[in-house]
Structure formats: structure tokens, C-alpha cells
Amino acid sequence: VACVSREFDFYYFVQQWPASYCDTKRSCCYPKTGKPAEDFSIHGLWPNYKDGSYPANCDSDDLFNDSEITDLESRLEKEWPSLACPSSDGMRFWGHEWDKHGTCSQSYLDQHSYFKAALDLKNKANLLQALDKAGIKPADGKYYSLESIKDAIKEATGYTPYIECNVDATRKYHQLYQVYMCVEASGSEFINCPVLPHGRSCTSQIEFPSFSHIKPSHQE
């Protein structure tokens, strides 16, 4: 994707539900630091335009440099773990996200501020608590209405999220996979989404699967 000089308009802040990443036919691998907690984790903070398009890979002269985020590493390991195979310590995922998306936010956030902003947004959203307050708890074989999930997050954060679903490998049910929230360009405040993302949609009743008994399909 070509480098564009036009500033972006807002971010999608995307969090993933680890059980739904792991229970598809593609499988997953736990990070070297161990199985993540049963909580949402960060996928990325993605600069976007109001027309739905987005910039990517904006600066090949400022690629990921782990020495800039050493003080954030223990938080990143917990809150931004990588579940892709082969298992890794997270650096590859963080590096990918910075190089592809973070470099497009540089006029507002340098590397350290970018990762710090994402961690702070995750705390602020506190999705697991928002759902729990509404009685929506991870469980297998139990279905919640998509509306009740969106309402619970709106009630707790003030903003309606976009929910992306995927399909579990064994039971073939739609399940909560990712939650998109919109954030203004400085990276600290949620806003109403100017345009909805293209993530795969959900049926009206979806599963919010448990992560506690999931095992990675293969570890290396």
C-alpha cells in the first residue's frame, strides 16, 4: 500500500476473544509466556479514514524497535499476547502491528505512546467487566443476543461497539470473535464510529465461548 500524506481520521481499537481465535479450524499456539488469562486481548489500534479506507505501512524508516517499549513489555505480554502459530513472545505480533498500522499514527503517537495508548484503552473499555455486569459470562453452549452484548458495552463505556463473529470448528456456531471500538486521533478517547468496519457479521444469537478448557491444537 502506498504511503499517503493525508492524515487519518480515527482509529479502530480492536480486541479479540482468545477462545474464539483458538477454537476455529485454524488452531492457535500459546505464547512462550504461557496460556493467556480468560480475558479480551488487544489485536491492534488501526488508523482509518472516514470513508472506510485506511493507510498502512506508512514509514519504512521507523520500523518496530523493541528497545523503545521495554518498560511496557510485561503489560504487553499479558494484555496483547499473540496466539498465532508458531508460538512466540509477542514481539513479532507487536512489530507487525506497529509496522503496518502504528507507523500511520506517527503524527500523534510515537512507538512508546502507541503501545501505551492501546494498553490504556483496553483498561478503560474493560469489556469483560462490562459484559459480566450484564450477566454475560463466557460459557459453552449458551447463546446471547448480539443486541444484549452491544447494549452491555454501550452501557459501561458509553459507546456502541461493532462485534465481529467467526465460526467454531466443532459446533459451527457464530461466536464473538472481535470487538471494534472507535477512538479519536490522539488515541485516548472513544468516539462514535464514523463508519463501520468490514469484519464478518454475526447471527442474532451468538456464543461467548469459555477459554478455560481450550487447549492449543499444537504447541512448538
Active-site position among 77, 79, 97, 164: 97
Shortest distance in whole angstroms from residue 40 CB to ligand 5GP: 12
Smaller CB distance to ligand 5GP: residue 55 or 149? 55
Report the phi/psi class of residue 90: left, alpha or beta, with left for phi > 0 and alpha for psi in -120 to 50.
Answer: left
Longest dimension (CA), the chain: 48
Catalytic residue, candidates 77, 101, 164, 174: 101
When the beta carbons of 106 and 156 are compared against ligand 5GP, the nearer one is 106
Which is closer to ligand 5GP, CB of 89 or CB of 151? 89
Chain positions contacting ligand 5GP, by CB under 6 A: 12, 16, 20-21, 24, 26, 43-44, 46, 48, 54, 82-84, 93, 96-97, 100, 166, 177, 197-199
Q: Is 7 a catalytic residue?
A: no
Closer Cβ to ligand 5GP, 49 or 156, answer by number: 49
Q: Cβ 2 to ligand 5GP, closest distance in Å? A: 15
Handedness of CA 12, 152, 72, 86 (dihedral sign): negative
CB 113 to ligand 5GP: min, Å: 18
Does 43 qualify as catalytic in the annotation?
yes
97 among known catalytic residues: yes
Q: Which sequence positions are flagged as catalytic? A: 43, 97, 101
